[in-house]
Copies of this chain bind each other. A is one copy, B any other.
Amino acid sequence: MELIADTNSTFIAEKLSGEGIEVVFSTNVGDDVSRIAEAFDAAKSRADVIIATGGLGPTSDDLTKKAIVKVFKRKLVFHEKILKEIEKSFEKRGQLMPKINQNQALLPQGAKPLANRWGVAPGIFIEEENTLFFALPGVPQEMKWMLESEVLPILRSDKPKTFVIHRKLRTTGIPESAIYEKIEGLIDPKGDVKIAFLPSYGGVDIRLTVTPKQAVEGEAKIEELEKKIREILGTYIYGTDDQVLEEVVGDLLSERGKTIAVAESCTGGLIGAKFTNISGSSKYFERGVVTYSNQAKMELLKVPPETIEKYGAVSEEVALLMAEGVRKLAKTDYGLSATGIAGPTGGTPEKPVGLVHIGFAHENDSFAQKFQFAEDRLTNRERAAQAALNMVRLFLIK
């Protein structure tokens, strides 16, 4: 077993499932040619399609090709054209190609190279009578593009036998068990549409899955259930499928032609980073200030020292003044703020670790909300950033 995070197989399973292809097995093996070859052999005997990731790099611990040679009994052949492309890819980065990367121009005989939009190593496609074999790079960004642009089109030419339709309803601000209690009446384990709850730091996703005879029929069934769930959960649902909260909030701000500025303490820049994850966010995100010190809160946001002294930097009063202060500073429509105790140190009985005040200021008024998280430092910060974005969303849709 290789000690590399296996988010790749998750992504692949999700994409294949969208094509109606079920993943029957996934295995992780270590940097050892014979163990990799064994895994390929076992996969050949139980599946029609094999997708391997990783081990296409130039260094000697990248062993996928050696295992392919063993299992598929094919020699490695040098491809001049691939070498040229690899050299070009280094040029684009203003670098000279190290000699060792020549290895990546070797492909098993009869294999088809798969284009790599984001990296150097081409993927490998081998077609045998009962097996479609794909080897993709291990770097997620490279793997994802290659799967979607190169592998799926090949698989689509093999007509799938069943449809599997998914819909993800994304919620935030409500725990898994509370969702469950609210929609328990809609859950029918023997029904056509299966419901799964996928909790993460940002909220709980509700995944609906149906395997119908006809796609149209499946869509209708999912839509019917989605409508019922939406009636119950209302604004707890912020988006569907791959939508992220910062995108939803960004779209709302864009549609309304509004601008926002952010003043952060405990989140240290995370809210700004989330807003600006979205391409085009400069339309509505004017600026952020990370007022980590009290001095910065006073200077940039005009929070009076007396307020900090009286209520503490982590208080509703300071959150409100921070939101108002950054709105004035940036001359935006809205100001958003977060101040809290991320932990692990700094907590007191009155203000325990995980306490966060989020403030929001608009044309006519400002308001704040108090949150009590109970996680580690990084998760408390993530949750605070998500809660801040959600406050903006709830304000904009109300």
| Chain A residues within CB distance 8 Å of chain B | 1, 3-7, 9-10, 13-14, 17, 23-28, 31, 57-61, 92-95, 98-101, 118, 139, 141, 175-178, 180-181, 184, 187, 189, 194-199, 207, 262, 264, 266-273, 275-277, 279-282, 285-293, 295-296, 300, 330, 342-345, 372-379, 381
Contacts and interface: CB of A to CB of B under 8 A. Distances in A.
Which residue, A266, A296, A342, A343, has most C-beta atoms of chain B within 10 A?
A: A296
B296 A291 contact: no
A285 to B, nearest CB: 5
B262 A290 contact: yes
B99 A181 contact: yes
A181 B100 contact: yes
A268 B274 CA distance: 8
A277 B379 CA distance: 10
Given A290-B290, A293-B282, A180 B59 contact: yes
A266 B279 CA distance: 11
Contacts of A178: 98
Contact of A290 (B28, B287, B378): B287
Work out how many copies of this chain go into the complex. Answer: 2
B1 A28 contact: no
A177 B375 contact: no
A296 B60 CA distance: 49
Nearest to A372: B94
A295 B378 CA distance: 32
Contacts of A293: 282, 286-287
A60 B10 contact: no
A280 B293 CA distance: 12
Contact of A58 (B139, B180, B207, B272): B180
Given A3-B207, A95-B175, 17 more contacts: A3-B198, A6-B9, A93-B373, A100-B184, A141-B376, A264-B269, A268-B276, A269-B273, A269-B275, A273-B273, A276-B342, A277-B381, A279-B343, A286-B296, A287-B290, A287-B300, A289-B300
